[in-house]
Structure 1
Amino acid sequence: MSEPETLAEAALLITCLRGQPFTIPSNIDWHTLQALAAENGVLLPVCRSLSEAGAAIPDFFASAARECGVAAEIFSAELESLLKEFAAQGIDALPLKGPVLAESLYGDAAMRQCNDLDLLVRGGDYPRAEALLLRLGFAASSEIDDYHRRFVRNGVPVELHFGIAPSRYFPFDLDGVWRRSAEGTFRGSPMRVMSDDDLVLFLCLHGLKHGFSRLIWILDVARALNRIRTGDYKALIQRARREGQEAWLLIGCEVVREMLPRQLPPGMDAAIAESPRMAERARRVVAQMFAEDPKVINEIRAFYLQTERSARRRWRRRLSYLAPTPMDDQWMERYRISRNLVPVLRPLRVLQKYGISRVWRTLFPPAA
């Protein structure tokens, strides 16, 4: 589908998400609208918006939305079962995204498309949690990296996390996340729930990691921002600044401003205005994000280096790319190579995998 062919459908899609009054053009291509909504993970909220507006929704469109709802229920039932199993073993589990996020942000576990389940456990509990999944019939579908591993059973993927994201690129205060988390339940099964502030920062990180390339990730941030009960957005920005996350937060807010302008809370808008320089940098990054080659702009390492103000931290991040990963360790063990050679072989492996041009753009991206 070329851009001119999808312009009307894309405009209607975004208007539905903005919650503004709209009329449906007589020549709208419903198949294109459905494909765009599904691709962006917003078929369910768009279908609800169209229904509330009294639109005559074609059967195939409504059927596709119902199928998404059925799939969401399958994931919800799986999550409920897993939370019970984890609780029985005394393992705290904190669901990331998925049905819990749908329930908290959209009021219904079946109102947000779900492709997998993400469960965060404490680092010390990870071995027991992994062993539990294997006993329950899950099979590992990836090697373990520095923050998670993927498993699958009966077509349902589960990502078991002991970290939020690669710590060398996106530092996140995990101890603080657990300390600030609260007890909660999902359909009667116990779980831990992120604080409102942590949820906003996590969703900004998640969206940034993927270049905010799907509308659902933008809608998630907008809804999470509006759930902050204290309304103290200035304190949120100050905390993000202390923890090196201010850039993620402001980029997330500017993406919301760009796509869903009326959904950026006025209090957040006022707090952002007190950081004009960082806000301007965030706006430039967002402009690049929507205008440039996604293969370049979606590179999370480049994003970090574009927005990090401290030269010392920028160089620390650059040098951290040369540190061995678990995959490097496995490769060296497989070929019986001494770890003393890591400082030499790691840079060569990076260059071989990505090429000098991409490595250079990552380490020295255009200034934001």
Structure 2
Amino acid sequence: MIKLNTKLYRQQACLAINKQLSDQYLTSTDFWTYAQADAMFPILWTSLTEADQARALPSLQLPISGKVFAADALRMKNATARVLRAFNDAKIPVICMRGVAVSEKLYPHAYLRPHTDIDLLFEEKHTLMAKQVVGNILHYNPLKAYPMLFKQGDIPLDLHIEPIGAERIKAWKDITPLSTKDFFMYAQESTLAGEKALLVGPRVMLPYLCFHALKHSFERLIWLYDIHLLAQQVNDLKQWDAVLEGMKEYKLERPCFYALSYVKEHMGANIPDEILVATKPNMGLVERRLFARFMKHEIIPYMAERLFSRMLPSWSQRLEFWRETIYPSLEVREQIAGGGCVKCNFIRTRLKQIGRAMLAFGKEIFLIART
């Protein structure tokens, strides 16, 4: 029996992408359970031969087939189509930030990229009308403490007026100038889920996906696989010059370097070496160790905050970033608290997080001191 952890799972999943998954993991229940939680199951499962699928099938906790993937994808496609149709009728230009925009435009079959929510970006001036469309026409219900998040059944609909979430953590505006205006500037009319939609070009989309993946500390392998597929598309269309221009304009070289290095090394993405050279940041000893651990498939605690703080140009901005991260606005504190006494629950949650962070950093300092 193999004892699997996240690091080992990610290593083997990358091997599976390159059709090098060993027999012991092919028949491991834990491996496929990790893959399902990570949304990588469809892409990994369909990469197997029929013979290997037959061997792996007894290891699955639930029987899975292409029809199951297709049914889930069709449900989300229909939900997205209904939302896009309502916004089109109301003449509110919107952009699907991920979801169907990724599954339909990057994957050979949309069902290979599971997603469970809908993220829409629009200009702030449309906020009131957008909420009326969501509530009065689409009949999505607002969620307490989340003024821009709505839900119908088990499908969340998340409305955004800022692509990076700067309305929640204002210090993020100092990290990157990427804004809603940039998304609409580089968007072209297309179709998604069978409805008229705006599709964002890779000059904006690739840096944004790298930022989004880092924002969540690269916790999910599927986000890196999205970047891998988009990088392949950029390479095929010879768009690297425009994309590099976008990375530099939005000051997102660091997240792009991390993500592109990983997908080149472990997923076989065709990324020119000069792109990595142009985006490589100056790293001190601590960050070089962080990067090495990341490249060895490790999920690093608080990686997002640690790298974002390094992207800020001044110490005063870094201090403000950490202050707002640790003690954010009341709205965000209410969301972190999750109900009940906001002050009590927030402080309790933060103390647990700070304790885990101090333990993790203490281990890192000990390892650095030993080398």
**TM-score normalised to the size of structure 1?**
0.77
> 1:177–1:198: 8 Å Cα contact kept in structure 2?
yes
**How many corresponding residue pairs?**
342
> Which residue of 351, 358, 363 corresponds with 2:354?
358
CA–CA distance in structure 2, aligned partners of residues 357 and 187 of structure 1: 40
Secondary structure of the residue that 1:211 maps to in structure 2? coil
CA–CA distance in structure 2, aligned partners of residues 8 and 247 of structure 1: 25
| Cα deviation code 1:201-253 (max 9, x no counterpart) | 11101111111122111101111112226534355334323322111211211
Match of 1:111 in 2: 112
Q: What is the CA distance between 1:295 and its match in structure 2? A: 7.4
> 1:43–1:65: 8 Å Cα contact kept in structure 2?
no
| Cα deviation code 1:282-302 (max 9, x no counterpart) | 76443344779957324x333
Are positions 1:159 and 2:148 aligned together? no
Secondary structure of the residue that 2:110 maps to in structure 1? coil
CA 1:142 to 1:17, structure 2 compared with 1: closer, same or farther past 3 Å?
farther
Secondary structure of the residue that 2:198 maps to in structure 1? strand
Match of 2:145 in 1: 143
> 1:203–1:217: 8 Å Cα contact kept in structure 2?
yes
Match of 1:34 in 2: 32
> 2:77–2:100: 8 Å Cα contact kept in structure 1?
yes
CA 1:46 to 1:196, structure 2 compared with 1: closer, same or farther past 3 Å?
same
CA 1:322 to 1:81, structure 2 compared with 1: closer, same or farther past 3 Å?
same
Q: What is the CA distance between 1:181 and its match in structure 2? A: 0.8
CA–CA distance in structure 1, aligned partners of residues 117 and 202 of structure 2: 22
CA–CA distance in structure 1, aligned partners of residues 114 and 332 of structure 2: 35
Where do 1:315-334 residues align within 5 Å?
315=319, 317-318=321-322, 325=329, 327=331
Match of 1:343 in 2: none
CA–CA distance in structure 1, aligned partners of residues 180 and 152 of structure 2: 28
Secondary structure of the residue that 1:159 maps to in structure 2? strand
Q: Extract unaligned runs of 5+ from structure 2.
A: 336-342, 366-371
> Which residue of 257, 260, 266 corresponds with 1:250?
257
> 2:119–2:157: 8 Å Cα contact kept in structure 1?
yes
Task: Name the structure, 1 or 2, with higher relative contact order (CA <8 Å, separation 6+).
Answer: 2
Where do 1:222-237 residues align within 5 Å?
222-228=228-234, 231-237=238-244
CA–CA distance in structure 2, aligned partners of residues 326 and 197 of structure 1: 35
Match of 2:339 in 1: none
The CA RMSD over aligned residues, in Å, is 3.9
Letter of the structure 2 residue corresponding to residue 272 of structure 1: L
Identical counterparts, % of pairs: 16
Secondary structure of the residue that 1:50 maps to in structure 2? coil
CA 1:94 to 1:52, structure 2 compared with 1: closer, same or farther past 3 Å?
farther
Letter of the structure 2 residue corresponding to residue 354 of structure 1: R
Q: Extract unaligned runs of 5+ from structure 1.
A: 332-345
